[in-house]
Structure 1
Amino acid sequence: MNHPDPHGTASFSEMALPPQVLRTLTEHGVREPFPIQAATLPDALAGRDVLGRGRTGSGKTLAFGLPLLVRTAGQRAEAKQPLALILVPTRELAQQVTEALAPYADALRLRMAAVVGGMSIGRQTAALREGAEVVVATPGRLHDLIERKACRLGRVRITVLDEADQMCDMGFLPQVTEVLDQVRPDGQRMLFSATLDRDVDQLVSRYLNDPVVHSVDPSAGAVSTSDHHVLVVHGPDRYAVTTEIAARDGRVLLFLDTKHAVDQLTRHLRAGGVHAAALHSGKSQPQRTRTLAQFKDGQVTVLVATNVAARGLHIDDLDLVVNVDPPTDPKDYLHRAGRTARAGESGKVVTLVLSAQRRETSQVLAEAGIEPTVTKVRSGEAELSRITGAKAPSGTPLDRGPAVPRPKNTNAPFRGLGTSKDASRGTGGKSRKAGEARKLAEARRAAQVRRGG
């Protein structure tokens, strides 16, 4: 592997980019390349295999997208036989990559097709049948289309794996290797990843030919432009703290471990007057797309999400990310944190912990290379407002039904908050289960009252 000068070329105009691409860059306000673009574009445009490491938000999409489009320009795809492929782990990232590259594809008269789960497979089949030079795909849906003989990869000359580490983490390694076994063996491969661990190394050694390596963002320093805070909260007060943070002025992204907890918190916030929406894998793709659009344009100010939003999600001017459930893996922390402080902007990452979770969370952050500021807070305190902008919600429900009262100061954490899929992190015991059953029964009675039952 070659490790060239990390600084690369200084400007887009010095690279072998066609005039229509340079013009489109200018029209979209892209004037100077980010480090990952300056480093990788010359090699990628020359047809070299590239291994790039850079955090999300570092400009990777144009780093691999522009060379892929430029080197495909002037060719025409036959039915069901794309010429270039970009493989990504999630629907959201596929959509984002497609939207980011569309203006440049249009300028070069290239047809693009997005192939993702949760959307009409019939429409995707039709797009491939009509001919698409460039396909942006998630592994599962692409596998389905190959099985149906709706897509053949034998003419793919350029293949990009974006967020390769997440695809491996999500169990997609077999589908990824299946794809790489079917594309042209003499073609160009570009692999981009925030981290390079065992499964990614396996892909590199097996499928990349003498790759040039560019690592412009060491993973440990991936969120250096963010302020990191650990807020130690009293268990019974955690729900109120979360609610007040959500009611702040400006947008906020809240991460929880489970779909159930996401839905539960979203209902509570909306009942208290907070414009919140849920995002997780249980939502249909049209729902997820609509929710993200509303969050981006400000109709929704609070996005409550599972780790499905931890990668590939780009929101301009998102200055606060909150881990309501602390992540147990340093990579998860870095990717959640990477939703803010993007493209050189500043941001703040807040993690809520109970006293019993402090040691484990400190270890996770240390492994992620993060030294947070640790503060004990309570709801309604000035310190909480100073750090997060927290304030009391209006209490006026956004949907039909009565306002949700302030949580009572009991000794059990709110169900779904402060707990995780790992039962050993909870507060445990029969009394907790009994308390949860009691709360569930009360919630059902309240729902019946709202429905007039």
Structure 2
Amino acid sequence: QQEDRSNLKNKSSKRKKGDEETEGSETRKKENSERAEGNQSTKEELFLAASEEEANPPASSLVVLGDYDRKPVQPFLPQWLARPKLVQKRIKDNLIPIGDVPGIHPRLLKKLQMNGIESFFPVQAEVIPAILQSASNGYLMGQGGYRPRDICVSAPTGSGKTLSFVIPIVQVLLDRVVCQVRALVVLPTKELAQQVSKVFNIYTDGTGLKVVLITGQKSFAKEQEMLVQKKVTGYCSLADIIVATPGRLTDHISQTPGFSLMQLRFLIVDEADRMIDDMHQNCLNQIVKAAFQVENDSGSNMLFQRTKPGPITAASSCYPQIPLQKLLFSATLTQDPEKLQQLDLFQPRLFTSVYSEKKTLGDGTETEQDTNKKYTLPEGLSQCYVPCDLNSKPLLLLHFMLTMKFSRVLCFTNSREASHRLFLLVQAFGGVTVAEFSSRLGPNERRRTMKEFEQGKIQLLISTDATARGIDIKGVNYVINYDAPQFIRTYIHRVGRTARAGEVGVAFSLVLRIQERRFLRMLKDAGIQDIKKNPVKGNSLKPLVQQYEEALCKLEKTVKEGKQNAEIKCFVVTEF
């Protein structure tokens, strides 16, 4: 019993002690909780105080450099790109009589009138005086002269860029005494070079200035004879103005004895964006290197050195030399400073017709339009696209030509093989005078084809992108992109073959349904949103199906008879 009483007493004391410990634990928890709450309230008070202090900072002489707000990073452009000289887009509404443009020589004004030009387009009225002004303070740097600023021009196709550099260059060279290469025009294709050379010949006729075209269409030896002549005292130049393609030009720089660019005053790069992108940068570097090399003066032992431009010093101003001015032209000139930096431009000026316009709304407020446009299309151009599948593309083209009665149509494909196959198919179908234009044809055949197309003898000209850039084809009413272009600049140049010089024209693009989203996104990213969807119902194509199938059979028969090569058979079997 005593043991039981002892055990009960111990248990009671343990319970009491346990209760006391529990009470103590709960008390400590309560104290800790209150302390935590107090700390939390203190943190909140400190945070609120800091926020108030940040919102209402005390007066201080310290400058706040930034904040924590996330703001979109705006691209930083050089001043000449950020603030260009804007050129009016609308040609017909902004024609300027040639007599109102200051500084043009009367002799050239007369030439312009003889060629039916009474008014300048906006880009011509801006750029011609700018180039003339850059040459007005002296032909030489030093002795009162200065280095002229380089000029870049970004304007729509058909806006008159060629005449913008032809007129001032001819005028600057009118008073030259000794024949030397003073102007060099570099272009990406032979056809474009021929076109520019033709314009130069028109305005140099009767002036004594000599224009030489070097594109590889003549033998290398023949071109050498056109460029330089060897005399007892040395070599002399036979060209004042050279129009060239890059490959042939670099060959003459490295292999033609006596060919010199030491007197070069103007370097014109037409279709400048393509020249940069197509790895012709090395050509431009070779031109500049040839222009600033050491040359042995003919008839003496003196060395003439044309040094690269640098800081103007008292010493450099004592030795006058001819400046080299670069003139860049394109309908799709890049605004990427890194790419343009490769050209080593000197204090360039940009003339552009790519800009936003303010439009007055009905309530009198003004809003900006075309704010995200990267390129400008001709104002008279209407754009449509036709969703289709692969099998219906040839039928759609025939529908446009035979049912819709389209005429003077320039049709683009993405390869010369595709152009040839489509040409054979349309020819076999009949009812359309058709021709092809690509590198498959020789130079003479291409010239003849282009002439017949301009004369209206050919209704449909199926071409690669050989005619897409710069070529001025007269009277093109419609452009059809049989193959949708993969790049926006290709699209810009293709559709720019119509609606030139303020005229009207229509561009149709046949777009596969799987390409539609990407095609529209490409245009939207370039700021082109006024293209209309123009679906063609299948019932419209049914009348052509039987004759179309007969044309395919005729083609296949021709292949079996061996009158055409194997690629046509492959085309018939796989594509149709």
1:161 aligned residue: 269
The letter for the 2-side match of 1:137 is: A
1:389-446 deviations in whole A, cap 9, x for unaligned? Answer: xx979x8xxxxxxx982559xxxxxxxxxxxxxxxxxxxxxxxxxxxxxx99766315
Equivalent pair of 1:231/1:374 in contact (CA under 8 Å): yes
Q: Deviations over 1:51-74 (max 9, x none)?
A: 111122110011111111111112
Distance 1:257 1:104, change over 3 A: same
Match of 1:325, SS? Answer: coil
Gaps of 5+ in 1: 385-390, 396-402, 409-438
When normalised by structure 1's length, the TM-score is 0.81
Provide the secondary structure at the position in 2 that maps to 1:326: coil
The equivalent of 2:559 in structure 1 is 444
Q: For residues 110-149 of structure 1, what are the structure 2 equivalents within 5 Å?
A: 110-129=209-228, 131-149=238-256
Question: For the Cα contact (< 8 Å) 2:167–2:203, is it kept in 1?
Answer: yes
Instruction: Report the TM-score when normalising by structure 2.
Output: 0.64
In the TM superposition, residue 226 of structure 1 has moved relative to its aligned partner by 1.1
* Contact 2:470 2:493 (8 Å CA) reproduced: no
1:256 to 398, 403, 413: 413
Per the alignment, residue 130 of structure 2 pairs with 43
Q: Which amino acid aligns with 1:377?
A: V
Aligned to 2:449: 291
Give the corresponding residue for 1:232.
Answer: 387
* Higher alpha-carbon Rg: 2
Match of 2:434 among 276, 282, 293: 276
- Alpha-carbon distance, 1:45 to partner: 0.7
Distance in 1 of aligned mates of 2:515 and 2:105: 54
1:207 aligns with 2:315: no
The answer as to 2:216 corresponding to 1:216 is no
Question: Residue 270 of structure 1: SS of its match in structure 2?
Answer: helix
For the residue of structure 2 that corresponds to 1:376, the secondary structure is coil
Cα pair 1:21 1:108 within 8 Å, conserved: no
The counterpart of 1:266, out of the listed 400, 410, 423, is: 423
- 1:311 corresponds to which of 454, 469, 484: 469
AA of the residue aligned to 2:400: I
Separation in structure 2 between the aligned mates of residue 309 and residue 129 of structure 1, nearest angstrom: 32
2:174 counterpart residue number: 73
Q: Is the 8 A contact 1:54 1:193 kept in 2?
A: yes
Tell me by how many angstroms 1:140 deviates.
0.9
Q: 266, 278, 291: which one pairs with 1:170?
A: 278
Cα separation, 2, equivalents of 1:9 and 1:348:
23
- Give, as a single letter, the amino acid of the residue that structure 1 aligns with 2:345: L
What one-letter code is carried by the residue in structure 1 that aligns with 2:273?
A: D
Distance 2:185 2:337 in 1: 16
- Preserved CA contact (<8 Å) 1:21 1:107: no
Q: Contact between 2:181 and 2:242, CA under 8 Å: does it hold in 1?
A: yes
- C-alpha spacing 1:442/1:84, structure 2 compared with 1 (3 Å): same
Deviation at 1:203, TM superposition (A): 4.4
Q: CA deviation at 1:42?
A: 1.1
Ranges in structure 2 where 5+ consecutive residues have no aligned partner:
1-79, 89-93, 135-147, 230-237, 293-307, 309-322, 356-373, 566-576
2:296 aligned with 1:197, yes or no? Answer: no
Q: Single out whichever of 246-255 and 310-319 deviates more from structure 2.
A: 246-255
**Distance in 2 of aligned mates of 1:276 and 1:200:** 44
Deviates more, 1:50-59 or 1:333-342: 50-59
Give me the whole-angstrom Cα distance separating, in 2, the residues matched to 1:9 and 1:39: 11
* Residue identity opposite 1:52 in structure 2: V
Match of 2:21 in 1: none
Looking at structure 2, the residues matched to 67 and 338 of structure 1 have their Cα atoms a distance apart, in angstroms, of 25
Tell me, what secondary structure is at the counterpart of 2:120? coil
Q: CA deviation at 1:259?
A: 0.9
Answering whether residue 459 of structure 2 is matched by residue 373 of structure 1, we say: no
Please list, as runs of the form range in 1=range in 2, the aligned pairs for 1:22-41 lying within 5 A after superposition: 22-41=109-128
How many residue pairs match? The answer is: 403
Provide the rounded CA distance (Å) in 2 between the counterparts of 1:194 and 1:293: 25
Q: Distance in 1 between matches of 2:538 and 2:442?
A: 35
Distance in 2 (CA, whole Å) between partners of 1:275 and 1:392 is 17
The CA distance in 1 between the partners of 2:532 and 2:540, in whole Å, is 17
* 1:373 counterpart SS class: strand
C-alpha deviation, 1:113, in angstroms: 0.9
Instruction: Give the residue type in structure 1 aligned to 2:471.
Output: L
Aligned in 2, Cα 1:37/1:143: closer, same or farther, shift over 3 Å?
same
| Matches of 1:25 and 1:407, distance apart in 2 | 51
How far apart are 1:143 and its partner, in Å?
0.8
Aligned residue number for residue 86 of structure 1: 185
Query: What whole-Å deviation, never above 9, does each CA across 1:301-322 have from its counterpart, x for those lacking one?
Result: 2211111111011122211000
How far apart are 1:373 and its partner, in Å?
1.1
1:12 is aligned to 2:98: yes
In structure 2, the CA distance between the partners of 1:114 and 1:360, relative to structure 1 (3 Å rule), is same
CA distance in 2, matches of 1:69, 1:326: 40
Shift of residue 107 of structure 1? 4.1
Over 3 Å counting, the alpha-carbon distance change for 1:152 and 1:169 in structure 2 is: same
Counterpart secondary structure, 1:356:
coil
